[in-house]
Structures are given as structure tokens and as C-alpha cells.
């Protein structure tokens, strides 16, 4: 859904009937600046929409943490803080490369732009790889969401040290999986968007005059990072 939107949002620049001499300038815009500013407003509105979308999940989180704080304290013992912290660093680094890719496009440095995009994609894959390790570990131990929550006795003992777990503990994992899962889907969306961007960058489409899509997709990528910045302490770091 969102990746389609972000692609469309970035793609609308090169509208069909362009100015004759400017292949990437839409016929209904005055000039590149006009197009860039309009596109930027569009992507910010899209990010606002994303915030409300994740806002629903954060709301569910807040309500359950308010009503049943125990399950959060118990649940976080099942998560691996180290992997979470490493993933945070990976995403932060990818945000740096994403921001740098905008700089490269603005300077018209094609090689640098492609390198930064490639690094961002690599980090995104790295993030998903670590997430995969975490998830498969959980699946293996039967630590799943809601109805499917059936942890092995060892996993239970390891996290709870013999204390009986709250009967709503599975709700914590519903929230954990749905929040990190949707975030993961946004990462995949980012990879698709960046792959498309890499192709266009290789074709030499971007330069100081026209770099809207690089900027917009980077903004989207930073938002994905922002969401994780909050998910990490809310899910992994509970006292």
C-alpha cells in the first residue's frame, strides 16, 4: 500500500505531457522549483498520514500498557535487547546515508548518489536480516501472537524464572508482532522505492535542478527510522 503510494508520490513529477525541453517537468507546473515544492508538500502530507496510521498502534500500546502494565514488564524479558540495539544502529546509519544521498543528488554527484542509495538498501536488508533472526528464534520457541502464543517451557523458564506469567501475556506479543511487522513492511516498501531510485540514478536523471524523488524517498526513509526510534525503547527497554 504505502510503497505504491510513495512510488506514485515520487513518480508524479514526470507527468505525461511534460514541457518540451524539460522531460521531468509536469505541464501544470511553472518551473522546477514549483514542482519540487508541491511534491514536497505532498510527501509531507503522506508522512502525516503515516504518523496517524502508526498512531493507531501506539494508541493500542498505550491503552494496554495503562491497563495491564505487568504484561509489558514480563513480555520484554522475552526480547533480545542487544539485537534491538544493533538494529537501531543499523537504521540510524541508513538514515545518515539517506540524508547523504540527498546531498549527493544536490551536488550532481552521480557516483556518490548511487553509492549512498546502495548503502541505504544494504542497511535495510541488514535490518531485515537481524529481524529475521529475532523472529525465527521466537517462532521456534512458540512465542507468537494472540491465539498462537504457546511458548516452550524452557523459553518460559528463561524469561520468567519460575514466576507464573500473566494470563494476558499473549497480548504483548500481539502488539509486538503487529508493530514490528508493519514497520518491517514499511522497510520493504523503502527497499522497493530505493531500488527504483537506484535505477533512475544510474540513468542519470538526477541533478541540482531535479532531485525531488531522492529527497522525498529519503524523507519517507527517515520516517521509518523515526518509528523505530520509538518502538525500540517501548518494546525492548522496559524497566
Partner 1 sequence: MSAPAVDVGHADYLKHAKGILSWLYTLDHKRIGVMYLIVTSVSLLLGGAFALLVRAELFTAGPTIMEHDTYNRMFTLHGAVMVFLFIIPSIPAALGNFVLPIQLGVKDVAFPRLNLASFYIWVLGACFLMWSMYDSAIDTGWTFYTPYSSDNANAVSAAAMGVFILGFSSIFTGINFIATINKMRPKGMTFFKMPLLLWSLYATSLIQVLATPVLAITLLLLTLERTMGLGIFNPALGGDPVLFQHFFWFYSHPAVYIMVLPGMGVISELIATFSRKRIFGYSFIAFSSMAIAFLGFLVWGHHMFTSGQSKTASIIFSALTFTVAIPSAIKVFNWLATMKGGAIWLTTPMLYALSFIWLFSIGGLTGMFLGTLNVDVHLHDTYFVVAHFHYVMVGGTLMALFGGIYYWWPKIFGRMPNDKMGRLSALLTFIGFNVTFFPQFILGSRGMPRRYYSYLPEFQDLHQISTVGAFILGVGILVGFAGVVMSLKNGKKAPANPWGANSLEWYCSSPPPHENFKVQPEATDPYDFSGWKWDKRTEGYVRKASEA
Partner 2 sequence: MAYRENEAEAHDEEHHEHHIMSPKVLIGTWLGLMVLTGLTVGAIKVDFGAQANLIVAMAIAGAKAMLVCLIFMHLWFDQKYNVMIFFGSVIFVVLFISITFIDTKRNEPFRDAYDATNKPTPEGRVLVEPTVSPISTSGSDAAAQPGELKVPEHQKPKVPWPSQLPDTPRVAPTAH
Interacting residue ranges for partner 1, rule: CB under 8 A: 1, 4-5, 8-9, 11-12, 15-16, 26-28, 34, 37-39, 41-42, 45-46, 48-50, 52-57, 59-60, 63-64, 67, 145-148, 167-168, 170-171, 174-175, 178, 182
Q: Binding partner of residue 4 among partner 2, partner 1, none, CB under 5 to 8 Å per kind?
A: partner 1
Nearest approach, Cβ of residue 234 and partner 2 (Å): 8
When the beta carbons of 180 and 199 are compared against partner 2, the nearer one is 180
Q: Interface with partner 2 includes 195 (CB under 8 A)?
A: no
Q: Interface with partner 2 includes 135 (CB under 8 A)?
A: no
DSSP letter string over the chain? -HHHHHHHHHHTTS-SS--SS-TTS-TT-SSHHHHHHHHHHHHHHHHHHHHHHHHHHHHHHHHHHHH-HHHHHHHHTTS-HHHHHHHHHHHHHHHHHHHHHHHHHHHT-HHHHHHHHHHHHHHHHHHHHHHHHHHHHHHHTT--SGGG----HHHHHHHHTTPPPPTTHHHHHHHHHHHHHHHHHHHHHHHHHHHHHHHHHHTT---SS--HHHHHHHHHHHHHHHHHHHHHHHHT---
Q: Enter the C-alpha cell of residue 93.
A: 546509519
Range 68-127, binding partner 2 (CB under 8 A): 69, 73, 81, 85, 88-89, 92-93, 95-96, 98-100, 102-103, 106-107
Q: Interface with partner 2 includes 163 (CB under 8 A)?
A: no
**What are the residues binding partner 2 (CB under 8 A)?**
30-31, 33-34, 37, 40-41, 44-45, 47-49, 51-52, 55-56, 58-59, 62-63, 66-67, 69, 73, 81, 85, 88-89, 92-93, 95-96, 98-100, 102-103, 106-107, 146-150, 167-168, 170, 208, 215, 218-219, 222, 225-226, 229-230, 232-234, 237-239
Amino acid at each position: 500500500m504505502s510503497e505504491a503510494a510513495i512510488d506514485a508520490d515520487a513518480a508524479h513529477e514526470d507527468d505525461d505531457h511534460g514541457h518540451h525541453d524539460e522531460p521531468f517537468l509536469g505541464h501544470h507546473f511553472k518551473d522546477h522549483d514549483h514542482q519540487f515544492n508541491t511534491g514536497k508538500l505532498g510527501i509531507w502530507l503522506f508522512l502525516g498520514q503515516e504518523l496517524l496510521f502508526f498512531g493507531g498502534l501506539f494508541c493500542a500500546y498505550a491503552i494496554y500498557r495503562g491497563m495491564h502494565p505487568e504484561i509489558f514488564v514480563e513480555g520484554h524479558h522475552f526480547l533480545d535487547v542487544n539485537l534491538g540495539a544493533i538494529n537501531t544502529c543499523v537504521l540510524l546509519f541508513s538514515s545518515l546515508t539517506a540524508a547523504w544521498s540527498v546531498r549527493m543528488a544536490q551536488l550532481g554527484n552521480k557516483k556518490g548518489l548511487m553509492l549512498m542509495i546502495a548503502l541505504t538498501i544494504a542497511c535495510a536488508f541488514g535490518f531485515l536480516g537481524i529481524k529475521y533472526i529475532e523472529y525465527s528464534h521466537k517462532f521456534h520457541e512458540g512465542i507468537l501472537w494472540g491465539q498462537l502464543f504457546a511458548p516452550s517451557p524452557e523459553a518460559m523458564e528463561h524469561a520468567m524464572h519460575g514466576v507464573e506469567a500473566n494470563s494476558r501475556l499473549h497480548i504483548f506479543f500481539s502488539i509486538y508482532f503487529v508493530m514490528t511487522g508493519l514497520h518491517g513492511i514499511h522497510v520493504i516498501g523503502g527497499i522497493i522505492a530505493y531500488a527504483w531510485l537506484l535505477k533512475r540514478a544510474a540513468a542519470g536523471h538526477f541533478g541540482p535542478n531535479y532531485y525531488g524523488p531522492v529527497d522525498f524517498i529519503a524523507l519517507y526513509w527517515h520516517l521509518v527510522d523515526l518509528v523505530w526510534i520509538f518502538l525500540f525503547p517501548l518494546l525492548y527497554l522496559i524497566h
